[in-house]
């Protein structure tokens, strides 16, 4: 069997006396699509924000991405170049055109030349259906369009892993679908994806594995069928009952 | 002598005008040099404060607090009259530029810090997640956005620096004010002082209007 792409061992994090993550162990293989679900405050966002060290974590824990340990220092930029992230609030750069947003990191981090970076950016914008708006500024786009640009921006680095931190939670309901469609297409291309989401339909349809988190622990993990149709844990059942049955 | 020929004596004004304009050049020279040096110093301090450890941070904060507290005239007199006792002898020009720059850098650092802090955390996070270095995060993402926020307060600071150049006259710098007082003594008529005041206004009023317009536009853009 192949070595896992992401290896998380005893990941712990606390804010003062409040523990957010209680020693998480998790391995994610190349090409796997993992959806993380659970109630607010369960630590799921914190978990994926630790993977690219946007959140620092306790020293005795360990995260290894593609053989590189995630810790402050010189290697961190290398890890981050391989780990793309899509945020709940898009976080596009408002003073740059959509095209420039997508070109920036390949030019600055990968040292790609302008022409190649532009070609790649235009291809990616085409893929996410934003090619017409390439020369607009983010503020001129709808939320759904902005989030699709953010996905293109992350893809421009050709990352080994894409992290999605509640990518549809800030969107108007009618725009959720267009973003999920892009993500579904992406999942079919063999990119490794870790998706924190409240979209149970998406998780059921796309995930190879679903993790249910609560109170800073992974309570249950399994295939979508195992988690959604036959949850073993009481807490999983309660959560699914609350979000699905109404 | 009537009021008009005392304060608005045209022949005296015409006679002193070359002297006043020479003074204006000196004033602008001190002002621009100090403004540019203060901008560079202030930006450096602000970025240092953002990325350096707690010790450097405390030092920078100390610098900013001290130089925002000390009266500029006191600082200028220390630089010009006290430093020679420890072997540091600066010309009047460099004394004035040094004092103005030290203070301007402190104010500018605070302005830049406020501007950088006004940028949402998500911009830093998105830059970090893409693997951008601290340098590119600053030059490509944060500063271009912060610049728009800091232009009105920075222009205000420029106005203050230009006004404060008048203090250089106390260290025998032939700036606009010094030339005016000399011309006044020579002609035994205060018209050159009025002339100098008018020249200061011509120089600074447009900048004051400019800041007011910027601030208005900025606050309109926010609502």
Can you tell me the distance from the alpha carbon of B38 to that of A26, in angstroms, rounded to the nearest whole number?
A: 52
- Residue in B closest to A89 by C-alpha: B122
Give the pLDDT mean for B92-107.
96
* Predicted confidence (pLDDT) per residue in B48-98, tens digit: 988 888 999 999 999 999 999 999 999 999 999 999 999 999 999 999 999
Chain A residues whose C-beta is within 8 A of a chain B C-beta are 52, 54, 77-78, 80-81, 83-85, 87, 89, 91-95, 104-105, 108-109, 153-154, 157
Does B136 sit within 8 Å of A91, measured CB to CB?
Answer: no
Q: A237-241, B3-7, B137-141 — which is least confidently predicted?
A: B3-7
Contact A66, A160 (CB under 8 A): yes
Residue B219 touches chain A, beta carbons under 8 Å: no
Q: Coil, strand or helix: which one is B191? A: helix
Element (H, E) at A182: helix A173-187
Chains A, B: CB pairs < 8 Å: 59
Give the pLDDT mean for B146-160.
92
Can you tell me the distance from the alpha carbon of A198 to that of A239, in angstroms, rounded to the nearest whole number?
A: 11
Position B220 confidence tier, pLDDT thresholds 50, 70, 90:
low
Instruction: Give the CA count within 13 Å in the CB-facing half-sphere of B138.
Output: 12
**What ranges do the domains of chain B cover?**
25-170+199-222
* Predicted confidence (pLDDT) per residue in A118-159, tens digit: 999 999 999 999 999 999 999 999 999 999 999 999 999 999
What's the gap in Å between the CA of B218 and the closest CA on chain A? Answer: 16
What's the gap in Å between the CA of A246 and the closest CA on chain B? Answer: 34
Please calculate the CA angle A14-A151-A81 and round it to the nearest 5 degrees. 60
Mutate to test the interface with A, among B120, B122, B126 (most CBs of A within 10 A): B126
- Residue in B closest to A96 by C-alpha: B141
Could you tell me the pTM of the whole model?
A: 0.84
* Burial (0-12, 13-18, 19+ Cβ within 10 Å), A37: buried
Residue from the list A54, A153, A157 with its beta carbon closest to the beta carbon of B131: A157
Residue B123 touches chain A, beta carbons under 8 Å: yes
Instruction: Give the CA count within 13 Å in the CB-facing half-sphere of A147.
Output: 24
User: Which residues 6+ apart lie within 8 Å of A21 measured at CB?
Assistant: A11, A12, A13, A14, A43, A46, A47, A50, A57, A216
Report how far apart the first and last C-alpha atoms of chain A are (Å, whole number): 42
φ and ψ at residue A6, rounded to 5 degrees: -120, 130
Beta pairing partners, A24: A11
* Predicted confidence (pLDDT) per residue in A71-117, tens digit: 998 889 999 999 999 999 999 999 999 999 999 999 999 999 999 99
Q: Give percent of chain B with pLDDT exceeding 70.
A: 97
Give the pLDDT mean for B121-125.
97
- ipTM for the complex shown: 0.94
Give the pLDDT mean for B103-121.
95
Check whether B223 has a pLDDT greater than 50.
no
Q: Which of B92, B90, B140, B111 is nearest to B41 (CA)?
A: B111
User: Which residues 6+ apart lie within 8 Å of B37 measured at CB?
Assistant: B97, B101, B104, B105
What's the gap in Å between the CA of A85 and the closest CA on chain B? Answer: 6
- Residue in B closest to A101 by C-alpha: B141
Can you tell me the distance from the alpha carbon of B157 to that of B109, in angstroms, rounded to the nearest whole number?
A: 11
Q: Which of A88, A212, A29 is nearest to B129 (CA)?
A: A88
The overall longest dimension of chain A from CA atoms, in Å, is: 55
What domains are defined for chain A? 6-245 (3.40.50.300)
φ and ψ at residue A21, rounded to 5 degrees: -130, 125
Does A84 sit within 8 Å of B131, measured CB to CB?
Answer: no
Check whether B222 has a pLDDT greater than 50.
no
Q: What is the DSSP annotation of chain B? A: --HHHHHS-HHHHHHHHHHHHHHHHHHHHHHHHHHHHHHHHHHHHHHHHHHS-HHHHHHHHHHHHHHHHS-HHHHHHIIIIIGGGGT----HHHHHHHHHHHHHHHHHHHHHHHHHHTS-HHHHHHHHHHT--HHHIIIIIIHHHHHHHHHHHHHHHHHHHHHHGGGGGGGT---HHHHHHHHHHHHT-SHHHHHHHHHHHHHHHHHHHHHHHHHHHHHHHH-
CB atoms within 10 A of CB B173: 27
pLDDT at B85: 93
> What does DSSP assign to residue B92?
H
> Rounded mean pLDDT of chain A?
95
Can you tell me the distance from the alpha carbon of A92 to that of A114, in angstroms, rounded to the nearest whole number?
A: 20
Contacts of A78 in chain B (CB under 8 A): 131
Give the pLDDT mean for A175-184.
96
Residue A77 token pair: 């930029």
Domain B25-170+199-222: give its CATH code: 1.10.3720.10
> Rounded mean pLDDT of chain B?
92
Contacts of B123 in chain A (CB under 8 A): 91, 93
The helix-helix angle for B143-164 and B191-222 (nearest 10°) equals: 160
pLDDT at A73: 87
Position B1 confidence tier, pLDDT thresholds 50, 70, 90:
low
């Amino acid at each position: 069997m192949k070595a896992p792409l992401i290896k998380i061992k005893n990941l712990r994090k606390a804010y003062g006396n409040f523990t957010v993550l209680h020693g998480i162990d998790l391995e994610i293989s190349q090409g796997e699509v993992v959806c993380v679900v659970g109630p607010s405050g369960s630590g799921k966002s914190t978990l994926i924000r630790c993977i690219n060290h946007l959140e620092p974590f306790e020293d005795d824990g360990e995260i290894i991405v593609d053989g590189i340990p995630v810790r402050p220092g010189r290697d961190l930029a290398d890890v981050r170049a391989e780990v793309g992230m899509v945020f709940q609030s898009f976080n596009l750069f408002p003073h740059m055109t959509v095209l420039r947003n997508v070109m920036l990191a390949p030019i600055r981090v990968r040292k790609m030349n302008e022409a190649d970076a532009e070609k790649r950016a235009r291809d990616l914008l085409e893929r996410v259906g934003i090619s017409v708006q390439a020369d607009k500024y983010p503020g001129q786009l709808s939320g759904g369009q902005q989030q699709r640009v953010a996905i293109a921006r992350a893809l421009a680095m050709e990352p080994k892993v894409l992290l999605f931190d509640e990518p549809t939670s800030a969107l108007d309901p009618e725009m959720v679908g267009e973003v999920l469609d892009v993500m579904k297409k992406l999942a079919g291309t063999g990119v490794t994806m870790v998706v924190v989401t409240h979209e149970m339909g998406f998780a059921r349809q796309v995930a190879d594995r679903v993790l249910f988190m609560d109170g800073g622990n992974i309570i249950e993990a399994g295939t979508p069928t195992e988690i959604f149709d036959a949850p073993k844990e009481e807490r999983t059942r309660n959560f699914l009952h609350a979000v699905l049955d109404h | 002598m009537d009021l008009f020929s005392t304060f608005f004596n045209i022949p005296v004004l015409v006679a002193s005008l070359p002297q006043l304009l020479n003074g204006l050049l000196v004033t602008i020279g001190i002002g621009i040099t100090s403004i540019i040096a203060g901008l560079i110093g202030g930006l450096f301090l602000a970025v240092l404060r953002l990325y350096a450890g707690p010790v450097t941070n405390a030092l920078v904060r100390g610098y900013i607090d001290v130089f925002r507290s000390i009266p500029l005239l006191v600082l200028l007199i220390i630089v010009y009259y006290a430093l020679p006792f420890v072997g540091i002898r600066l010309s009047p020009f460099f004394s004035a530029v040094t004092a103005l720059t030290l203070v301007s850098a402190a104010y500018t650092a605070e302005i830049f810090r406020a501007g950088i802090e006004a940028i949402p955390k998500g911009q830093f996070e998105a830059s970090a997640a893409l693997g951008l270095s601290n340098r590119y995060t600053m030059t490509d993402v944060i500063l271009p956005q912060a610049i728009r926020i800091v232009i009105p307060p920075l222009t205000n600071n420029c106005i203050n620096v230009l006004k404060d150049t008048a203090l250089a006259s106390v260290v025998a710098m032939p700036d606009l004010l010094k030339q005016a007082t000399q011309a006044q003594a020579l002609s035994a008529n205060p018209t050159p002082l009025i002339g100098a005041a008018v020249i200061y206004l011509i120089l600074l009023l447009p900048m004051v209007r400019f800041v007011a317009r910027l601030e208005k536009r900025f606050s309109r853009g926010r609502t």
